[in-house]
Amino acid sequence: MASTIVLKGRIKSIKGTRQITKAMQLVSASKMRRAQDAAFRSRAYRDLAFDLLKRLNATREVETQPLFRVRPVKSRLYIVVTSNSGLAGAYNANVLKLLAQGLRADKADNAASKVIVIGSKGAQFVRRLQDVELLAVYSAFGDKPTANDIRPILNTLMEQYSDEQVDEVRLIYTLFKSNIVQEAQFVQLLPAVLDDSELPEGSKLISNFEPNVETVIEQVATRLVEAQLFQAVRESLASEHSMRMISMKNATDNANDLIDDYTLEYNTARQAGITQELAEITGGAEALNG
């Protein structure tokens, strides 16, 4: 059994850690609420973007457009959304696991792999990989990302795809479903080909393009890809704060359990010490009387 001095030091140390985890839990809860509201507000726009892409895919005019043309994949670009800091449970690990699966599939298919990373955790992972080109690293965009933050990434991926330096662009991020459920997933951004089977009958035709087909489709597709990218960043931000809040709550609960266990052990050790002292005093008194 450890001495009372050691146990007292451990209890003090754990109480200090508990204060930190409790504070981080409260901060993450506040940030999660704002990020969650922002993600929910823009989901309708993202859903409309998907719907419009499906309608565009149902027209014959897009078949010859570069952003919709499917090419044999010789090189694939991944846009990966992670965080700058840890202590968020499996948030980063789940995203990087999906990335690793994609990279292994590329290697098996003899396809080159390129990566653009949002967040330093993803950059640290990719830098350790061989035969993977890290095109760019962007620090996390804070709690209020804007379209200007996203635009450099959008310009890079559009340029890479238009110049045929990559044949497919995938986005890997974490979808926020609820406070306790977040799911890492990937979305194909380019080529902008979606299944149009769910469209209602009679809604698959867009007959007029002004000023011309090329201008409309290029501009619309670019804006719709931007909407998906921007929404992914917002979903990931809400997921990160939610997972960090849960992780810090679990850490705080574990700290409370440890404090209870060490307090019980401390009281037991202290009681044993008192009993031993009483026994020594009693023994000494008996020896004097004898």
CATH label of the domain that carries residue 106: 3.40.1380.10
Give pLDDT, residue 62.
Answer: 67
Give pLDDT, residue 213.
Answer: 61
Count of CB atoms situated within 10 Å of the CB of 74: 15
Please report, rounded to a whole number, the percentage of residues in the chain having pLDDT higher than 70: 88
**Is 278 inside a domain boundary?**
no
Give pLDDT, residue 100.
Answer: 93
Give pLDDT, residue 2.
Answer: 64
Bridge partner residues of 184 (DSSP): 174
Count of the separate structural domains present in the chain: 1
Give pLDDT, residue 222.
Answer: 82
The DSSP letter of residue 110 is T
**Is 258 inside a domain boundary?**
no
How far apart are the C-alpha atoms of 121 and 85, rounded to whole Å? 7
**Is 288 inside a domain boundary?**
no
How far apart are the C-alpha atoms of 211 and 36, rounded to whole Å? 39
**Is 260 inside a domain boundary?**
no
Per-residue confidence band for 199, with pLDDT thresholds at 50, 70 and 90: very low
**Is 19 inside a domain boundary?**
no
**Is 97 inside a domain boundary?**
yes
- Domain with 177 in it: 25-245
Per-residue confidence band for 211, with pLDDT thresholds at 50, 70 and 90: low
Dihedral angle at the C-alpha atoms of 153, 162, 204, 211, nearest 10 degrees? 100
Quote the pTM value. 0.82
What is the arithmetic mean of pLDDT over 61-73?
77
Which region among 85-94, 208-217, 259-268 has the lowest average model confidence (pLDDT)? Answer: 208-217
CA 200: distance to chain centroid?
34
Per-residue confidence band for 61, with pLDDT thresholds at 50, 70 and 90: low
Question: 98-102, long-range: CB within 8 Å, 24+ apart, which pairs?
Answer: 98/172, 98/184, 98/185, 98/186, 99/125, 99/126, 99/172, 102/76, 102/78, 102/170, 102/172, 102/186
Per-residue confidence band for 1, with pLDDT thresholds at 50, 70 and 90: low
What is the arithmetic mean of pLDDT over 57-64?
67
**Is 266 inside a domain boundary?**
no
Q: Which residue has the higher pLDDT, 75 or 270?
A: 75
Residues in the chain: 290
Q: Which residue has the higher pLDDT, 15 or 48?
A: 15
**Is 79 inside a domain boundary?**
yes
Which region among 50-54, 151-155, 267-271 has the lowest average model confidence (pLDDT)? Answer: 50-54
